[in-house]
């Protein structure tokens, strides 16, 4: 792992759940996306700056996800972000969704850095690479 865990709190709202009060399986992906967005912001790289200054965006290339326990209405969750590996244009991120230190969901997300105009793979911007802790 390249840098320390980032953790983002999320409260489960009614809109996140089905009629039984259980979080929809796909909503977990929204929670993880939100945590990755805030992780970038915490490091000083808001999405607009990545687009405007570095002319790059990140797209999910693939992901593997496992659901262990359900999250339910009004739960306070922690969504973690941990960089596992960084390549030329790809970053592998491990994420967990926890409730009171109990793992509910585990995912490995492969994102690729692409040119904002071309949508073709480009190298991860050097300042971001350095901030994450990988050699450029």
Catalytic residue set: 18
Q: What are phi and psi of 116, to 5 degrees?
A: -60, -30
Decide: helix, strand or coil at residue 29: helix
Q: Are 56 and 125 in contact (CB under 8 A)?
A: yes
Determine whether 113 is exposed, middle or buried from the number of CB atoms within 10 Å of its CB (0-12, 13-18, 19+): buried
């Amino acid at each position: 792992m390249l840098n320390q865990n980032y953790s983002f709190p999320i409260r489960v709202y009614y809109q996140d759940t089905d009629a039984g009060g259980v979080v929809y399986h796909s909503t977990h992906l929204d929670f993880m996306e939100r945590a990755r967005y805030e992780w970038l912001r915490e490091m000083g790289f808001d999405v607009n700056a990545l687009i405007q200054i570095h002319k790059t965006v990140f797209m999910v290339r693939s992901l593997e996800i496992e659901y262990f326990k359900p999250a339910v209405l009004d739960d306070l969750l922690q969504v973690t972000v941990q960089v596992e590996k960084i390549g030329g244009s790809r970053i592998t991120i491990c994420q967990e969704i926890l409730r009171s230190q109990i793992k509910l969901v585990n995912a490995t997300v492969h994102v690729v850095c692409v040119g904002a105009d071309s949508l073709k793979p480009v190298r991860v911007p050097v300042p971001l690479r350095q901030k994450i802790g990988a050699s450029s």
